[in-house]
Amino acid sequence: MIARAPIVAVTLRGLLDRKRFWLMVALAAVPVLLMAMAVAFSDQPVEPEDFDTAVISLVLPLIALVFGTSAIGSELDEGTIVYLLTKPVRRLRIVLAKVLVAAALTAALVVPATLLTGLVATLGGSDVLAAGAAYALATALGGTAYVVIFLAVSTFTRWALAVGLVYVLLWEGILADLLPGTGQFSVRQATLGVARELADEPIPSGAIGLEQGLISLAIFIIGGIAIATWRMSRYQVRGGD
């Protein structure tokens, strides 16, 4: 165990320990395989937008959802949170440790997946290596934002997974595309904004760019951590009595 960071260690052990982790690895492999098949069987060149479809809109939020809601949610459900709350430990430290682990695991899966996808595409002749790196960096930041949001939601309700899913599928999947100007309120749009500018792509009109994207993500991350910390400092552990 990492000596100075017991909460990080126990959260890490918890998230790694089940078949859930391997399912996430399989999910992260999907865009890579997709790209491999596209390269092998298609003549069309790969555009950077394809990274959006494959990774950012689906795999990233799903993986972040599972890790983000489990990091603290499973402890709240099981009741093991008692052992963290009855210690002279700041609630902020608990939240930060769990965000760190969930975000790191998400990035550990999604960043290599994005890089590999770009690599495969480059091997197939498209010039997207730089774009791949740009998207990888953006997904690391976007993943952290997703994780923080889902973690904060899981401190409010047991059904955080469902709520997160509704957010991803309905809000980010459909509405944010339809309603221009809501880009700042969508992690996906913020991530895309960062990625596009870093990859030197043109920004579609109405969509947000690097600065706005970074600001949005920062607000999500800081705000989410603040909300989760506030919630945990008021969390009361009921008994089964």
The nearer residue to other proteins, 102 or 221, going by C-beta atoms, is 102
Contacts of 71 (CB under 8 A, 6+ apart): 11, 14, 15, 98, 99, 101, 102, 147, 151, 154
Q: Are 149 and 70 in contact (CB under 8 A)?
A: no
The nearer residue to other proteins, 25 or 53, going by C-beta atoms, is 53
Question: Least Å distance between CB 12 and other proteins?
Answer: 10
- DSSP letters, 116-146, are HHHHHHHHTT---HHHHHHHHHHHHHHHHHH
Question: Least Å distance between CB 212 and other proteins?
Answer: 27
* Residues 171, 209: Cα–Cα separation, whole Å: 20
Question: Least Å distance between CB 214 and other proteins?
Answer: 27
The nearer residue to other proteins, 53 or 200, going by C-beta atoms, is 53
Token pair for residue 165?
């899913």
Question: Least Å distance between CB 120 and other proteins?
Answer: 13
- Residues within the interface to other proteins (CB under 8 A): 1, 3, 6-7, 9-10, 13-14, 17, 20, 23, 27, 30, 34, 37-38, 40-44, 50, 53-54, 58, 62, 65-66, 69, 78-80, 82-90, 159-162, 165, 169, 233, 236-241
